[in-house]
Structure 1
Amino acid sequence: MSDRADWQPLRDELQRWNAAGRKAKLWFRDDDAIEPTPALDRLLSLANRFNVPIALAIIPQPTGKALAERLAGESRVTATVHGWTHQNYTPDDTKKQELGLHRPQAVVLDELHRGFDKLEALYGKQFVPLLVPPWNRIDDALLPHLAPFGYRAVSVFGLAKQAPIGLINTHIDIMRWHGVRGGLPHTEVIGRLVEELRIRFDGHDEPIGVMTHHLVHDDLAWDFVETLFEETADHAAIEWRPVTHFIH
């Protein structure tokens, strides 16, 4: 376990919510699932232990029945569409993006249509009509074309802006993506979470999304997830909700 004193700022903020008789809405998204792995088993074990619902962003093209069969009995898990192949099509000097206009729009949309249909067929009632763009990036020009395929919402990163489709975003990323890979220091992630809670306390009603990537977690990242669940799962000021609660 980390030094649990690191978590005091979160406890203090949640006490403020509790004193005001309010509850913060949180949801949990984990990206890049393709097949059953020990890391996925570890994540599911934590979700079950603390009764936290998980939205799993699954890469449609390479996935198949093995993952669907593994998840079939997991009542806390929903399946969402994570692009098509999670392949980058941008030039080397720009931010990675699969769902951009670096290819013909019709090609990109056809992949998103196929991804929706494949995961819906594999997951049935566990499937959620939510698109999670790889690297949290999608060109705005694609958004108006998603609803005819069945998509009801998109999930990227940051406070939601006006869009022609519902946005159910994430706001907390526990990973360090540059330099030495692995989980960010707990104090840094907790600081961001407290900041998001303060924004909500002041009247912003958007649910707070926590984003993880089980396949690349180190001990620090796993410890963060476990401690976050320990600190919040039974807290009077926190509601961990399935992402389906936010899709209208």
Structure 2
Amino acid sequence: MKTEAIWQALIDRLDQMQETGQSADFWLRDDDAVEPTAALHRLLDLTERFSVPLTLAVIPAHTDERLERCLAGRRDVSVAVHGWSHENHALAGEKRQELGSHRPGGTVSDELRAGYARLEALFPAFFVPLLVPPWNRIDAEVISGLGAIGFGALSVFGPERSGKAATLLRPGLQIINTHVDVIDWRGTRGCRDHAQIVRDILARLEQVVNGGGSVGILTHHLVHDENVWAFLSKLFEVTVTHPASCWRKVSDLIGR
């Protein structure tokens, strides 16, 4: 199916949802924010132009007041905790992970507590108690202590009610995942085929219609090529004004 047709398929599905009184919440999570860059300014300007709320997963150890000044005056921006330093502590041959069992649990918890406190102090107007684990990986033992630090929600990648994500559930901790990644990490490391991304959105919409939840879009502004920017612009154009879709701040989803 050509890209134009697949976009029309998304519009048609949203039209069907509207006709049956259904709707879907979308949210946007962008990872690895540290400092003002041309790419970050472009993302901020794009989301502001379309009035799309943006959640930035910020790396606490590497950010500072420059990012706070960059965000000052921006509307609908949230800052989440992206681990501590985004450093891999996994053994050779293992998948990369910062929040794993490779170090004493107290060390990991202390870093997360420091990251929480640092971002809350740096970004008081934007901070949300949401943990975004680097590489979307976190051990269950680490999760058990998140509530004591202050976290109310956790965001990884994949369906909330099936697979690995379901094992992360803890009393008092909400899972608010992303479900559609725009980057072809295992291939070109640029934008994935637009038609395939839209198919993923359509598949997630079916999960939302049948079981609730939201459609989480995952981006990484530092590696965006022009095809990513074009995709996001088209996605926002299609969804922002449609009655069956609503772009939410992540704080609207926490505690729902």
Please state how far the C-alpha of 1:127 moved relative to its aligned partner.
0.4
Q: Mean alpha-carbon deviation: is it higher for 139-148 or for 109-118?
A: 139-148
Return closer, same or farther for 1:63/1:74 CA change in 2, 3 Å cut-off. same
Q: Percent identity?
A: 45
Matches within 5 A, 1:200-239: 200-202=208-210, 204-239=211-246
SS at structure 2 position matched to 1:211: strand
* CA drift at 1:166: 1.0
TM-score normalised by length of structure 1: 0.96
**Cα offset, 1:9, TM superposition:** 1.7
Match of 1:185 among 193, 201, 206: 193
Displacement of 1:3 = 5.1
SS in 1 for 2:7: helix
* Alpha-carbon separation, structure 2, partners of 1:3 and 1:198: 20
Matched residue SS, 1:26: strand
Aligned pairs (5 A) from 1:157-168: 157-160=157-160, 161=166, 163-164=169-170, 165-168=173-176
Provide the C-alpha distance between the structure 2 equivalents of 1:13 and 1:92, rounded to a whole number of angstroms.
45
CA distance in 1, matches of 2:22, 2:34: 38
Q: Cα offset for 1:125?
A: 2.4
Distance 1:92 1:46 in 2: 39
Gaps of 5+ in 1: none
Counterpart-to-counterpart distance in 2, 1:151 and 1:3: 40
User: Partner amino acid for 2:62?
Assistant: P
Task: Provide the residue aligned with 2:62 in structure 1.
Answer: 62
CA offset at residue 91 of structure 1? 2.0
Provide, for residues 168-196 of structure 1, a one-character-per-residue CA deviation record: whole Å limited to 9, x for no partner: 11101010001321010001100000001
Q: Which runs of 5+ in 2 are unaligned?
A: 161-165
Alignment-derived partner of residue 77 in structure 1? 77
Residues 1:98 and 2:98 are matched in the alignment: yes
Q: How many residues align structurally?
A: 246
Is residue 143 from structure 1 mapped to residue 143 from structure 2 by the alignment?
Answer: yes
SS in 1 for 2:62: coil
Cα distance in 2 for partners of 1:44, 1:13 equals 28
Q: C-alpha displacement at 1:65, in angstroms?
A: 0.2
Where 2:60 maps in the other structure, the secondary structure is coil
Distance in 2 of aligned mates of 1:49 and 1:117: 31
Out of 222, 231, 249, the residue aligned to residue 242 of structure 1 is: 249
In the alignment, the residues of structure 2 paired with residue 37 and residue 81 of structure 1 have an alpha-carbon distance, to the nearest angstrom, of 19
1:42 corresponds to: 42
**Contact residue 3 and residue 194 of structure 2 kept, 8 A:** no
State the shift of 1:93 in Å. Answer: 1.5
Q: What CA RMSD, in Å, does the superposition of the two structures yield over aligned residues?
A: 1.2
The 5 A counterparts of 1:25-40 are: 25-40=25-40
Quick one: which amino acid aligns to residue 230 of structure 1?
Answer: E
Alpha-carbon distance between aligned partners in 2 of 1:200 and 1:75, rounded to the nearest angstrom:
27
Deviating runs (4+, > 6 A) in structure 1? none
User: What displacement does 1:198 show?
Assistant: 1.1
* Alpha-carbon distance in structure 2 between the residues aligned to 1:109 and 1:3: 45
Q: Hey, what does 1:196 align to over in structure 2?
A: 204
SS for the counterpart of 2:178 is: coil
User: Hey, what's the Cα distance between the residues in 1 that align with 2:153 and 2:74?
Assistant: 23
Tell me if structure 1 keeps the 8 A contact 2:239–2:245. yes
Distance 2:197 2:175 in 1: 22
- Relative to structure 1, the CA distance from residue 171 to residue 3 in structure 2 (aligned partners, 3 Å threshold; closer, same or farther) is closer
